[in-house]
């Protein structure tokens, strides 16, 4: 079993690269953003709570996200592994994930490095194309601030454990994928 976390700020291309890696290495792509948006579209109780938070660019409570991730790991435990996209985002989530995967394989972290100016352009374009309510300028700025404050410190956590690989995420989709692929083969 192989497990990976795709890491980077909002707009770095995590979802795109995670799907390519999942296909290449036969992994289950676990995107917490997609799972939360599914809850919203189904108008569940969790979805209604989550929508307000996401529309403001906030981070959903660790207990909600941890429960969803644990459930998905349990449902898909027979596969070749996972690539986690959008999770973990806090130290509590990182520790929870390590506890869930200790008996399997601790994840290697693939970090996409992208300059803030490029991120803003990508997210603005994605918002226009997809209509995602969380891809407007005000929300994006808040998401980038939260990433810097709460999520970026996880890079040090994983670097100390020698589980961090960083690549330049500013090339074409295929160029970035080849950089990642070369690191994890």
Q: What is the pLDDT of residues 111-163, one digit of tens each?
A: 999 998 999 889 888 888 887 777 778 888 888 898 999 888 999 999 999 99
Residue 170 burial (10 A CB sphere; 0-12, 13-18, 19+): middle
CB 83 within 8 A of CB 16: no
* pTM (predicted TM-score): 0.88
Q: Is the peptide bond before 88 cis (omega within 30 degrees of 0)?
A: yes
The helix or strand, by DSSP H or E, that contains position 127, with its residue range, turns out to be helix 116-130
In CATH, what number is assigned to the domain containing residue 177? Answer: 3.40.50.300
**CA 59 to chain CA centroid, nearest Å:** 12
Whether 57 shows a pLDDT value over 80: the answer reads no
Structure tokens at 158: 């994983």
The domain total for the chain is 1
Q: Which domain holds residue 165?
A: 2-184
């Amino acid at each position: 079993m192989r497990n990976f976390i795709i890491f980077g700020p909002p707009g770095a291309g995590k979802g795109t690269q995670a799907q390519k890696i999942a296909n290449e290495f036969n992994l289950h792509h676990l995107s917490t953003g997609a799972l939360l948006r599914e809850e919203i579209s189904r108008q569940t109780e969790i979805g209604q709570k989550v929508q307000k938070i996401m529309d403001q660019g906030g981070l959903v409570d660790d207990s909600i996200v941890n429960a969803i991730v644990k459930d998905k790991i349990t449902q898909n435990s027979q596969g070749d592994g996972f690539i986690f996209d959008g999770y973990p985002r806090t130290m509590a989530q990182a520790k929870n994930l390590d506890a869930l995967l200790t008996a399997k394989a601790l994840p290697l972290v693939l970090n996409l490095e992208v300059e803030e100016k490029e991120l803003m352009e990508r997210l603005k374009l994605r918002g226009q194309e997809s209509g995602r309510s969380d891809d407007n300028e005000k929300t994006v700025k808040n998401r980038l601030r939260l990433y810097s404050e709460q999520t970026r410190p996880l890079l040090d956590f994983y670097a100390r454990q020698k589980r961090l690989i960083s690549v330049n995420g500013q090339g074409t989709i295929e160029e970035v994928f080849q950089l990642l692929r070369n690191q994890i083969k």
